[in-house]
Chain A
Amino acid sequence: MDVTPIWLTLKLAGITSVLLLAIGLPVAWWLSKGRSFFKIIIEAIITMPLVLPPSVLGFYLLLAFSPQHGIGKWLQHNFNIRFVFSFEGLVLASVIYSMPFMIGPIKSALQQLPLSLSQASYSLGKTRWQTFVKVLIPNIRPSLLTAVVLTFAHTLGEFGVVLMIGGNIPGVTRVASIAVYDSVEEMDYSSANTYSFILFAITFILVTGVFIFNKYQLKSPLE
């Protein structure tokens, strides 16, 4: 049985998680401060992938990146990049699709930190950035871990979007979830079983791990 789909899936989930951590931290921080109307709209948009059917996202991405018009054409013409049918396209789609799983927990955690913590840091002459890095982030570690693991696990299970824009290319976009689907369609139930079990095992261990970790972390004085 070909194990490339498993590696592809792990690779996709890993890269997506790292990218989302880099993007998600500053955005979550920005969202956690104050509630202007603009921020509410942005937060709603970011949360959409939680409730939007993946096929809708896939459909819009298909249209947006078609090489015949708009952004797709510009990318193809200038950089010879095509997001549809490429691993990079899957990363982009996964970043959008899993964003609420990264930003949600981090934003909540930041909001639960007492305001006086930041104020104390400012009174010592520290900038907002220094405060963010030295005071805020270290004190939301459990939520950070939860966010990363949830993002990773969620990307592992991505199917609908990949189905629409992946093109099922072996070694490139044929991730494990697609491989399971194909195996079932081809009536190769033994492969389907193996892929499914591996995915199930990984996700189960990850999610259980997060819950156990959180349980022991509850001794943090801020809870």
Chain B
Amino acid sequence: MKIKLYNINLKLLIKVLGVACLFWTDQAFAQNLKVAVAANLQSVIKVLGQDFKQKTGITIEPIVGSSGNLTTQIRNGAPYDVFLSADMGFPETLFKEGFSTKKPVVYAQGSLIICSNQNIGFENWERLLMTPRVKKIAIANPAIAPYGKAAEETLKDKGILNDIKPKIVYGESISQVNTYITTGEVEVGFTTQALVKDPASKTQLYWKIIDPKTYNPIEQGMVIIKHASENPDAEKFYQYIASPAAKAIFEQYGYHE
């Protein structure tokens, strides 16, 4: 008799849980705007999201990844509404392939910095990288992360790319590069200025801006994904990112126009 009671309770429990799950997920999907953002925007998108919600009442759900990774996902049907890339190339590909109805526009320009969690002295960083003091250098994978491409360009410009290649370690995205920098796995890394401008960051970091003349400008572009082209929220967010309020926030985090 005891066993019988057990059985009934179990079945009921499962049914209740099953229905509860449906309700749970249902809530999440209905209202939020899904915004895919390149990894370098990891910290600034939170602030933008809060500001946007204050102004419009719309909640955004950021999905962070490397620009290349996100683009592939979108091409394979990922349900994102807006895409903020770290370059223009990936959004342009999406536009050409018909995944967005409007051409991509630049919403900000990124700043490349050289960074470390040790006070290593970046005054003459080109020389520093060649010394044995620096054993590992992290950059994002240039094939899929625009900041990695920029890092490669600046290294080439300084003529040291081939010499320091053995020391280079490739992060899957700027996020991974940041991890390597903040945990000290690498002595030095090339990343976005947004990392050091983030007030929420707890690690003490030392850094220097890389001369923008040594790399192609990191023009970050955004598009609305086709299936969201009728979604008024998506359009609102699109307009918001171009607005002065958003631009001010971007500047705080080291981006510029």
State yes or no: do A and B come from one complex: yes
* Chain A positions near chain B (C-beta within 8 angstroms): 62-63, 66-69, 82, 84-85, 163, 167-169, 182, 184-187
Write out, one digit per residue, whether chain B residues 165-187 have a CB within 8 A of any chain A CB (1) or not (0).
00011111000000110011110
Q: How large is the interface on B (under 10, 10 to 19, 20 to 34, 35 or more residues)?
A: 20 to 34
Tell me which of B68, B135, B170 contacts A169 (CB under 8 A): B170
Q: Give CA–CA (A168, B168) in the complex, Å.
A: 9
Q: Give CA–CA (A82, B138) in the complex, Å.
A: 15
Q: Give CA–CA (A163, B172) in the complex, Å.
A: 8
CB of B141 within 8 Å of the partner chain: yes
A187 touches B72 (CB 8 A): yes
Q: What chain B residues lie within 8 Å of A163 (beta carbons)?
A: 172
User: What's the minimum C-beta distance from B173 to chain A, rounded to whole angstroms?
Assistant: 10
User: What's the minimum C-beta distance from A78 to chain B, rounded to whole angstroms?
Assistant: 15
Q: Give CA–CA (A68, B180) in the complex, Å.
A: 12
Q: Give CA–CA (A182, B136) in the complex, Å.
A: 21
Q: Give CA–CA (A67, B179) in the complex, Å.
A: 14
Q: Give CA–CA (A169, B171) in the complex, Å.
A: 9
Given contacts A67-B184, A167-B138, A184-B72, 4 further A-B contacts (CB under 8 A): A62-B179, A163-B172, A167-B169, A167-B180
User: What's the minimum C-beta distance from A66 to chain B, rounded to whole angstroms?
Assistant: 5
Pick the 6 closest A-B CB pairs, nearest first. A167-B169, A68-B184, A168-B170, A186-B143, A185-B144, A185-B68
Q: Identify the interface centre among A67, A82, A167, A185: most chain B CB within 10 Å of its CB.
A: A185
Write out, one digit per residue, whether chain B residues 98-127 have a CB within 8 A of any chain A CB (1) or not (0).
000000000000000000010000000000
A67 touches B185 (CB 8 A): yes
CB of B154 within 8 Å of the partner chain: no
User: What's the minimum C-beta distance from B165 to chain A, rounded to whole angstroms?
Assistant: 9
Q: Chain B residue with minimal CB distance to A184?
A: B72
Tell me which of A66, A85, A187 contacts B169 (CB under 8 A): A85
User: What's the minimum C-beta distance from B95 to chain A, rounded to whole angstroms?
Assistant: 15
Q: Give CA–CA (A198, B174) in the complex, Å.
A: 30
Q: Chain A residue with minimal CB distance to B183?
A: A66
Q: What chain A residues lie within 8 Å of B43 (beta carbons)?
A: none
Contact A185 B183, CB 8 Å, known A163-B172, A168-B141, A169-B168: no
Q: What chain A residues lie within 8 Å of B135 (beta carbons)?
A: 67, 82
Q: List 7 A-B contacts (CB under 8 A).
A: A67-B185, A163-B172, A167-B169, A168-B169, A168-B172, A185-B143, A186-B144
CB of B85 within 8 Å of the partner chain: no
Q: What chain B residues lie within 8 Å of A68 (beta carbons)?
A: 117, 183-184
Q: Identify the interface centre among A69, A85, A182: most chain B CB within 10 Å of its CB.
A: A85
Q: Give CA–CA (A66, B187) in the complex, Å.
A: 11
Q: What chain A residues lie within 8 Å of B220 (beta carbons)?
A: none
Q: Give CA–CA (A169, B184) in the complex, Å.
A: 18
Q: What chain B residues lie within 8 Å of A184 (beta carbons)?
A: 72
Q: Give CA–CA (A50, B109) in the complex, Å.
A: 45
User: What's the minimum C-beta distance from B110 to chain A, rounded to whole angstroms?
Assistant: 19
CB of B66 within 8 Å of the partner chain: yes
Q: Give CA–CA (A212, B180) in the complex, Å.
A: 45
Q: Identify the interface centre among B68, B69, B170, B171: most chain A CB within 10 Å of its CB.
A: B170
Q: Give CA–CA (A184, B141) in the complex, Å.
A: 13
B183 touches A63 (CB 8 A): yes
A182 touches B183 (CB 8 A): no
B residues 150-174 touching A (CB-CB < 8 Å):
168-172
B residues 183-214 touching A (CB-CB < 8 Å):
183-186
Tell me which of B144, B169, B186 contacts A182 (CB under 8 A): B144
Q: Chain B residue with minimal CB distance to A173?
A: B169
